[in-house]
Amino acid sequence: MKNNIGHEIDQKLLDRMNFGLYGRDKDPRTAEKGKVHDSKMVASIEEAIKRSGLRDGMTISFHHHFRDGDQVLNQVMEVIAKLGIKNLKLAPSSLTAVHAPLVEHIKNGVVTSIESSGCRGTLADEISHGLMDTPVVFRSHGGRASAIADGRLHIDVAFLGATVSDEYGNASGTCLDESVENAAECGSLGYAKVDAQYADKVVIITNNIVAYPNAAGGIPGNQVDYVVKVDSIGDPAKISAGATRFTKNPRDLMIAEKAAQVIINSGYFKDGMSLQTGTGGASLAVTRFLTDAMLEQGVKARFALGGITGQMVKLHEMGLIDTLLDVQDFDVEAASSLRRNPNHHEIDGNTYASPFDRTAAINQLDVVILSALEIDTSFNVNVLVGSDGIIRGAIGGHPDTAAGAALTVIVSPLIRGRIPCVVDKVSTLCTDGALCDVLVTDAGVAVNPRRPEVAEALTKAGIRVTPIEQLKADAEAVVGKPDDLPFGEKVVALVTAPDGTVIDVVREICDND
């Protein structure tokens, strides 16, 4: 054999090394010189579904970066239902109150099982009353990302909403092109990046196609199979509705201020620290009360992690937080900062919180502030099931960050209305009490007995530490002892820990007379 310039290349050598010869054995997949190849655009969601090969029994996924403003999941599910596809497993990164139409798809057999971080509204209510035969599987954000990566959660087709995409599927939650109107920015596509990386087929759904290259980050086109343009994908104004609203509630602010004092005096408030704030009014507001102390004491944070807020961005722009590691954005200000600020970085769900990766960002975390629906006297936390026994929340990154952070601060009012939040035993176990170090309520601060050095530091700083049993008794003295919830036998959901083991089950709730 001779090559193009007459050099002898032995066929036996090619066979032995398992190579073909340039020219003679040209790989037919190779792109043609100078030709702009076909785009990945398809005309409609219906066409994308058909081309993806979606059929009965498969697993589909979505992301929840538009939170309460999401319009992608309902649009796609409507088309899937119309096409007569049944028995699907739905595995979105989370579900919110806007996803109530799923109830009909479940009743009609289109969706027969669900894996999610959480669930709210009508759908959650129906599930709690026994809507589904197969229990819903709840995973933390790190738990889901790692389950997708190692194949325990295999996604056949991912339908991922994006603010903008080019026709090759380079898709992002931010928009660099100023000529684009109606850019519905959700910011980081951190959870969706995992779906794009591991799903068999990836469909990008966007309302804005921009010229190649869309270099705004997010999802790289080489992970994408089809791109669909639709009229609308989401309402960014509703990203910060629900669990991530900016609180004006004076009690939340009081708790946040106290939590800030706890952090400042905990021993972890040092130059070069790192922090994260979870969803919930009080938790998100803590950042505001840290600012003055950071300025006074010359403390700068090395990074802030997780769900990024406008408050975090403000500190970043003041030079008080060096780097923002952003897996999702909790408001529009944070979403636009990702485009604007060079040290505001989009990270994927595994980089954020994989339980099996010792270099995941959570393990670098000094302080995390997290909410709770209930916390018990062993510091166990429920963030999933409401006081009425109905699912109304999400595991989110709660157990991931509680496990990773050096100091985990739980913020909660002592009572909500007549509902006690500090109880003997949580109705549903989401985060192991061994991982939760301090509880800050409007009626006092409690420290986990596992952390005597933290209690000592706080006491020395003049912060009164109350035994958690006392807080529980104080709550009960005001509201009285509640009756046990009327749970039935049927298991409606599995609650999993980040490593994928079952930490609790949720049973169906029976209505009282």
- Give the binding site for another protein (CB under 8 A): 387-389, 417-419, 478-480, 482-483, 485-486, 509, 512
Output the smallest distance, CB 475 to another protein, in A.
Answer: 12
Nearer to another protein, 78 or 388 (CB): 388
Q: How far is the CB of 174 from another protein (least distance, A)?
A: 39
State which residue, 151 or 417, has the beta carbon closest to another protein. Answer: 417
E strand segments, 74-225: 88-90, 111-116, 136-138, 157-162, 164-165, 171-172, 201-206
Least distance CB 392 / another protein (angstroms): 13
Query: Which lies closer to another protein via its Cβ, residue 284 or residue 390?
Result: 390
When the beta carbons of 11 and 512 are compared against another protein, the nearer one is 512
Residue type at 411?
Answer: V
Six token digits for residue 425:
């035993």
Judged by CB, which is closer to another protein: 107, or 418? 418
Query: Virtual CA dihedral for 68, 155, 352, 437, nearest 10 degrees?
Result: 70
Give the CA angle between residues 121, 355, 119 to the nearest 5°: 5
The beta-strand segments (E) located in 356-486 are 367-371, 374-376, 381-382, 407-411, 415-416, 419-420, 422-423, 438-441, 444-447
Q: How far is the CB of 417 from another protein (least distance, A)?
A: 3
C-alpha to C-alpha distance for 299 and 294, rounded to whole angstroms: 5
Cα end-to-end distance, the chain, whole Å: 88
CB of 471 vs another protein, minimal distance in Å: 18
Determine how many CB atoms are found less than 10 A away from the CB of residue 30: 7
At its nearest, how many Å lie between another protein and the CB of residue 483?
6
Nearer to another protein, 276 or 387 (CB): 387
Cβ-based nearer residue to another protein, 254 or 299? 254
Min dist CB 509 to another protein, Å, is 8
Helices 332-340 and 310-317 pack at an angle, to 10 degrees, of 40
